[in-house]
Amino acid sequence: MNITTFAIDIAKSVFQLHWVEPATGEIHRRKLARGKVLEFFAQRQSARIAMEACGSAHHWARQLAALGHQMLLVPAQKVRPHVIGNKDDAADARGIWQACNQKDMHFVSVKSVQQQDHLSAHRVRSHWVSQRTASVNALRGLLYEFGVVIPKGRRAMMSWISENSAALEQQVPPGMWRLVHLQLQALHELDQHIDAVEKEIAQMQTESPDAKRLRKAPGIGLLGATALAATLGDASAWKGGRHFACFLGIVPSHTGTGGKVRMGGISKRGDTYLRSLLINGARNIVRLAEPPEWVAQMLKRRPFNVVVVAVAHKLARMAWAIVAHGRDYEDRWRGAAAQAAA
């Protein structure tokens, strides 16, 4: 007996369903209020349920999986080519149904509550860091309008303002001086918020065996270890380390026509935050006074940034292997094929 495949276009209030009865081929469309979704699927036999991997998709996937259904989360960019005609909820649901039935479709793994909890801390920290950077730049730009040139860097700016506060007060209008104090107070509060979140992230590392193992690898710090552990889960969503590196966009993009393929820069697809953590960690390795031998040899024949990306690619493969196989990082570890050849 064929299993029915349902496609759901999720929303805040009204959900759109699309499915085809395997026995008759009859096409069904139905709208459900948010509160009726679980009730509807609780009365159905075990089925495949596909959703676009967007906001709240992981929550609904966990809820529906608890009812015994098989969940499929389709990447949003894979759904759009299947939406034909005018875009509406029914067309979106139909597009999701068609996309999930493609034989070569790669689905997004459903994140657990703990994974989302840990990743939320990283998102909040990243948001506050961007706010802090924007506040620093805004303050520097406003003071520049009054002829005040501040050194680059947040810490250098804060130190400079503290040392030159008396002269600065005389140089700018009283209203502007009050705004400077308000902006400095806001920056101080943002620093406190960021420190609090970083303490939470440090606690997450102690609770996650995978994060502890990842932390031992070179180029992977506290943020990278916890974010990678939360994203990878049990690492079963990826076929291997190269597949995970491709997911992060640390692989060359390419275009091809007429049998000719042209390789470009990295694709920059996937999680921007994780990719930036790995790139920064790789940059620290390449900048060492005595980097690993293979890195030093590559620096002789390739540009600096190309080597950084190559090291980041290796870090991604290494992270997948550490989590997938549950083993600690070993500097001179050799795989089974290398050991057999020796």
pLDDT at residue 269 in the model: 86
CATH architecture label of 5-100: 2-Layer Sandwich (3.30)
Confidence of residue 256 (pLDDT cuts 50, 70, 90): confident
Give pLDDT tens digits for 185-199.
999 999 999 999 999
* Cα–Cα–Cα angle for 39, 41, 104, rounded to 5 degrees: 150
Tokens of 9: 């276009």
Tell me, what's the pLDDT at 339? 53
Reading the block at residue 206, the tokens are: 């102690």
pLDDT at 27: 94
Instruction: Take residue 338 and report the two structure tokens written for it.
Output: 């290398």
Per-residue CA distances from 226 to 207, 244, 290 (Å): 10, 16, 27
Residues 257-280, buried b or exposed e (16+ Cβ, 10 A)?
eeeeeeeeebeebbbebbbebbbe
Q: Are 84 and 39 in contact (CB under 8 A)?
A: no
What pLDDT, on a 0 to 100 scale, did the predictor assign at position 205?
92
Confirm if 204 and 211 have CB atoms less than 8 A apart.
Answer: yes
The Cα–Cα gap between 209 and 336 comes to 24
Strands in the chain per DSSP E? 5-9, 14-20, 27-33, 48-52, 70-74, 252-257, 260-266
Separation CA 240–CA 323 (nearest Å): 11
Predicted confidence at residue 270, as pLDDT, reads 86
CA nearest to 74, candidates 9, 13, 119:
9
Tens digit of pLDDT for each residue in 13-72?
A: 999 999 999 888 899 999 999 999 999 999 999 999 999 999 899 999 999 999 999 999
Per-residue pLDDT at 201 = 96
**All residues at 6 or more sequence positions from 236 whose CB lies less than 8 Å from its CB, including other chains:** 109, 324
Residue 330, helix vs strand vs coil: coil
Average pLDDT of the residues in 160-168: 92
Q: What is the pLDDT of residues 286-299, one digit of tens each?
A: 999 999 999 999 99
The pLDDT of residue 169 is above 60? yes
Residue 318 DSSP SS3: helix
Is residue 262 within 8 A of residue 248, CB to CB? The reply is no
Q: What is the mean pLDDT of residues 321-339?
A: 76
Helix (H, G, I), strand (E, B) or coil at 112: coil
Distance (Å, whole) CA 177 – CA 169: 6
Mean pLDDT score, 92-99 = 95
Spatial distance between the Cα atoms of 278 and 229, rounded to a whole number of angstroms: 13
Q: What three-state secondary structure class fits 212?
A: helix
The string of DSSP letters for 275-310 reads HHHHHHHHHHHHTSSS--HHHHHHHHHS-HHHHHHH
Predicted TM-score of the model (pTM): 0.87
pLDDT at 130 over 90: yes
Phi and psi dihedrals of 241, rounded to 5?
-65, -35
pLDDT tens digits for 207-221? 899 999 999 999 999
Q: What is the mean pLDDT of residues 327-342?
A: 65
For residue 37, the number of C-alpha atoms closer than 13 Å in the C-beta half-sphere is 22
Average pLDDT over residues 93-102: 94
